Structure 1
């Protein structure tokens, strides 16, 4: 075993727990092997399954894995030997791709004698991912596997990894707590920096500095926008100067061992818009009611209905927030692209039907919307499902 660089890591016991759970589901579906293809898209979210199984990841690398029902797990990467044996102790079979991942995957699959077997592939596109209904595998990689194994069944294994990753272990929860601690330091830096006359980009930079100096990896999501009454974040800040009465809305996610909690914290510059001030009260009531009901057995769809009912009762009859409504946005937190997900626009029956289980972890960020739709207030925290209701991390 190579000498390891001093990175935070998950334990071997955590590795064994994951491998046992994945292989149990593979046996149920009669799979011989699972391939998790390389794809560093969406701030490396699409690498989550590979990192989940191999502990190879961090930064923005392209890493694939071949995970057999029995035997040695293989990680495949470019510049494999100098990078991955020195940062993790989960896998020792680390192979060079030289940017041709399909070739290296096929070589390993042939060693496993699965020419007439059942090969699972995550991100194949037959089963919708949390944010990836078209899949995540590159066509060239898939083509090489298909041509090398014409008599094998290629099966979408996305649901297997989704299922195992839904419920977090105590180690995973501890890591998400650490991520949230870094998020809170970043929010503090945002509040301290967001003053009239300061460039929007400088506030965003202060947030990133606070995250990285406290241990966050990159890349991370940090969606952001500032203005008098913005309704939706952009993917990055602008060069505008902040003005009195502006509000910054954001999504802040520090990455600790690749796990990202999320915080959503609107920040007002000097004064709060009166409409926003009233909407915050409605939003707080909705958040607290959803949090109380984050218990095993409650479905995502039931929480969405609760959101609307709570807003209807909490909204004042007069004043700027009269008739306000609310929408639920909530999605899994963990290694990346965790499900289930619900937003005002993402409401598939599959996602709405998912029932809560103890130790699921979500970003819960319902929004309160004025009756005319001109103002939106959203605040959110990463929360864990317990038998007594949600717990904020």
Structure 2
């Protein structure tokens, strides 16, 4: 690998400067100083003059109405029969953000959503400056009085508001987000003190979990699975930023990188530059499973002949949309290339065959992953995916997620128009088919994001699905 001192991210900036600057970003360094003064990609109406992407709430009032109506419809079903929903900020911030757009670097909120649509939704941001921040940015959602932002903190203002809404009578049923969980946080995330204070102040009121496995997954989880055109636009931007990350990884790996962290920091910076938001996940691994570094920059040495695999989740409006593409360090004459090329071709064939199997409105998630597993076996490979279907969404409000032997509680969920997900085969060829230069054959992965329409699954990415090397082949 040639030794070069500069890495292109928009404009030219030395690797040392990029690493130093991004380490300072958490204390407020402007993004332009991190990435240099060159032109940034992916500019939209969220861009500021000068080209630096700035994240701000973009969803319309119509989208607000669509979400709240869907949530309330499920709240009214006999199996739920909820009088109100409470999404605490001390739980999973994805739930308050889905209901109000409040979340991310500007902080979260405790959100109370009554089932009665004639009553406002209330968001308690915890401080006056947070209230000011969100009131300034959410005028389209607050101007009609249907969303009210207050600065209260903790259980006390929530109790007072529930009383004011008449939701303090014995037998009142209030669903609490992340009181328990399904795939994630089965024991919940809500503060015990917070919950005890609610129960003490509101005797006779029932506080109930709102998340379950399967198609009847809950009044927030279920509507969040089927996304609107506005949400699709956000996810398309996630995917575009993810593909920019794949380009960055290949480019940096062929230049000055000596360890994984030398790739991770420029890639993180490129993703931030595309969206103005911290990536939900950037896990880069060398000759290991894509999630083995747990999203951290590490000092694993980069060497010719390695396979770089990743989990890349760029973030737009809190939404994540994953892509994956194993990259070979070297070229056609580098030991290990022939195995990598053969394995990637099988992974891509498996991906395309699996997607072609989908019949919108009929195929279940379980049927899809079972078909995938059978296809992998027919192609003389072993599945290494864990999760092969990874939905997009806000944080962990991104269901369903499952694989042949993972999270099968969501197997009965039907793939219907509006759903979006990354399908990401991770396979290892059997040694009798192709023998790697390592003692054991390595895993390769390809992951592409899809939107289910009434006619089938549509790719959201634009890159060519083929083996990628850091040297010309």
Same fold (TM > 0.5)? yes
2:23 paired residue number: none
Q: What is the CA–CA distance in structure 2 between the aligned matches of 1:324 and 1:240, rounded to whole Å?
A: 26
Aligned-residue offset at 1:240? 3.6
Change (3 A) 1:83 1:60: closer
2:339 paired residue number: 275
2:362 paired residue number: 297
Aligned match of 1:314 in 376, 379, 385?
Answer: 379
| Count of residue pairs the alignment pairs up | 371
Which is higher, the Rg of structure 1 or of structure 2? 2
Q: What is the CA–CA distance in structure 2 between the aligned matches of 1:284 and 1:146, rounded to whole Å?
A: 53
Change (3 A) 1:383 1:231: closer
Q: Which 5+ residue runs of structure 2 have no aligned equivalent?
A: 1-53, 212-217, 432-439, 461-473
Aligned match of 1:87 in 118, 134, 137?
Answer: 137
Query: Counterpart of 2:132 in 1: which secondary structure?
Result: helix
* TM-score (structure 2 length as normaliser): 0.73
Q: What is the CA–CA distance in structure 2 between the aligned matches of 1:171 and 1:285, rounded to whole Å?
A: 31
Structure 2 counterparts to residues 119-198 of structure 1, below 5 A: 119-125=174-180, 128-158=181-211, 159-195=218-254, 198=257
Aligned-residue offset at 1:380? 0.5
Contact 1:245 1:268 (C-alpha < 8 Å) held by counterparts: yes
Query: Counterpart of 2:444 in 1: which secondary structure?
Result: strand
2:121 paired residue number: 73
Change (3 A) 1:259 1:244: same
Change (3 A) 1:163 1:334: same
Contact 1:215 1:256 (C-alpha < 8 Å) held by counterparts: yes
Contact 1:56 1:84 (C-alpha < 8 Å) held by counterparts: yes
1:114 paired residue number: 167
Aligned-residue offset at 1:263? 1.0
2:442 paired residue number: 375
Aligned match of 1:385 in 446, 449, 452?
Answer: 452
Change (3 A) 1:325 1:259: closer
Q: What is the CA–CA distance in structure 2 between the aligned matches of 1:141 and 1:69, rounded to whole Å?
A: 22
Q: What is the CA–CA distance in structure 1 between the aligned matches of 2:312 and 2:384, rounded to whole Å?
A: 22
Contact 1:102 1:140 (C-alpha < 8 Å) held by counterparts: no
Q: What is the CA–CA distance in structure 2 between the aligned matches of 1:365 and 1:386, rounded to whole Å?
A: 19
1:210 paired residue number: 270
Contact 2:322 2:390 (C-alpha < 8 Å) held by counterparts: no
Deviations 1:50-91 (CA, angstroms, capped at 9, x unpaired): 111111112272322111123111111223323211222324
Aligned match of 1:24 in 73, 97, 102?
Answer: 73
1:319 paired residue number: none
Q: Would you say 1:9 and 2:58 are equivalent positions?
A: yes
Aligned-residue offset at 1:273? 3.9
Aligned-residue offset at 1:302? 0.8
Change (3 A) 1:384 1:141: same
Q: Over aligned residue pairs, what C-alpha RMSD do you find?
A: 2.3
Change (3 A) 1:181 1:325: closer
Q: Which 5+ residue runs of structure 1 have no aligned equivalent?
A: 41-45, 316-322
